[in-house]
Amino acid sequence: MHYVRLLRPPKLAPSKRGMQTELVFTITTDLGDSFLCPSEPIDLAVTADIYSPSADVSCELSERRKLQWLPGSRVAKPGYELPPMVVNAMMSGDAVELCVGTASSFSAEGVQSILSSSGENPSQGGAGGLVMPVRVALNGPDADNDISTRKFRLGAASEPPEYLEVEEEIGESIARHVWDAGVVALSAIAGIYKFPRLHSSQHPCMQALRRMFDDSEAMNILELGCGVGILGTGLCAVYPRGAGDCTILMTDLDEAEGRARSNIALLKHNRSGSQLGNTNILYENLNWDHGRQGRFGRQVRLRRWDLVMLSDCTYNVDMLPALVGTLSALHASNVKWVADGDEPVSTRVFLATKPRHASEQALFDLMAGDGWQTLETQILPLPVLGGERESVEMYLFEKA
């Protein structure tokens, strides 16, 4: 999958007609290690969305001036005259947001398009790969020069819109951005409830997760290496409202804390208490070098964890021993919650990864060596525009 990524905040400048904006963006893979190189030019669209108390309005800025991503492109620097309605909205203090993306047939705009591109309907648009659009606030109370947003549609296009919004940081750094495995894992989990008839939703791996979610009176879920938080906040957004109480604790290194907490706050801002149901979402720092020694923060120690989940966390093979050690230490912590005479507890781990190099296979030897069993394996193809097909692998492990 590819992502439109802003390299700097949009510039606003006065013009003869009123006001113009200039953008600088690229289209790359999640780690920024490969630019989009399509066999044919890809049409791009830049739209301005106005959010006012009276009505929401959208207008396409690129309609009069065709914008394309060409084979061999590295960066695009388009400039656009802002229509009077956009300028007036900004002068009135209304929120104005720009969206940069591709035609809908190539757009990774939500769960349905992601799962369709992964082989559900290979004859339909997106079978050759998708590009995720990016949004950025030009004006309004939420405007921030340092962040852009991914707006991810959770349900079908025929249903009332329900979105997950995740903030990223503008710039060339690959940190504090969404990555492929987290996006695909969220899509697969959301598909359980939003698109239950799809083959991916009926896979034993997803069905096992659904039984855990549906049948538990109370569910405690711990996420390791949450990054910007797309998997944790996304699960919170789609967790079944009729299920029991659920606590999701997102964890990562301290440098990820700011953006993760911002996205938790954004989720709560966009959804009322009734929409979040009985789900509570929290954040706490967790360093795996400490975790492997059983040194956990207060929030981790407060609960027995029914499910530990992680995505895009196996690319750094030097950290795999610390990761597996942390998982086993969490299981040991769970065991301490069992009273004498009670049945032994098991700990389950849901892991999503996009394999990037063969050395990552060391994870499975480490897991097996620590007594973890693989219950289910699910592989979703990930087509890449202009490149070789990749895949996201999802595993359900258990240790008793």
Please state whether the predicted TM-score (pTM) of the whole model is above 0.85. yes
Whole-angstrom CA distances from 16 to 181, 193, 238 are: 46, 52, 48
**Overall average pLDDT of the 147-151 stretch:** 96
Q: Which residue has the tokens 């290194």?
A: 253
pLDDT tens profile 24-46: 999 999 999 899 999 999 999 99
Query: What was the pLDDT predicted at 276?
Result: 61
> Distance (Å, rounded) from C-alpha 251 to C-alpha 260?
9
**Which of 353, 336, 269, 250 is closest to 301 using CA atoms?**
336
Query: What was the pLDDT predicted at 205?
Result: 99
**Overall average pLDDT of the 288-293 stretch:** 98
Whole-angstrom CA distances from 349 to 65, 136, 275, 377, 399 are: 50, 35, 27, 12, 9
Which stretches within 195-319 are classed as H helix?
199-202, 204-215, 230-238, 257-270, 273-276, 288-291, 298-301
Give strand pairing partners of 308: 222, 349
Query: What was the pLDDT predicted at 142?
Result: 64
Please, what is the average pLDDT of the chain?
92
> Distance (Å, rounded) from C-alpha 233 to C-alpha 250?
9
Q: Which residue has the tokens 């849901």?
A: 350
Taken as a whole, the chain contains a residue count of 400
Assigned fold of 180-399: Rossmann fold (3.40.50)
> Distance (Å, rounded) from C-alpha 144 to C-alpha 212?
39
pLDDT tens profile 62-87: 887 789 999 999 999 999 999 999 99
pLDDT tens profile 169-221: 998 777 789 999 999 999 999 999 999 999 999 999 999 999 999 998 899 99
Query: What was the pLDDT predicted at 157?
Result: 86
**Overall average pLDDT of the 115-125 stretch:** 63
260 within 8 A of 226, measured Cβ to Cβ: yes
Whole-angstrom CA distances from 309 to 24, 73, 176, 232, 252 are: 35, 37, 18, 9, 12
Query: What was the pLDDT predicted at 274?
Result: 54
Query: What was the pLDDT predicted at 104?
Result: 83
- Tokens representing 180 are 């492929």
Distance of CA 390 to the CA centre of its chain: 18
pLDDT band at 125 (very low <50, low <70, confident <90, very high): very low
Domain boundaries, the chain: 2-169, 180-399
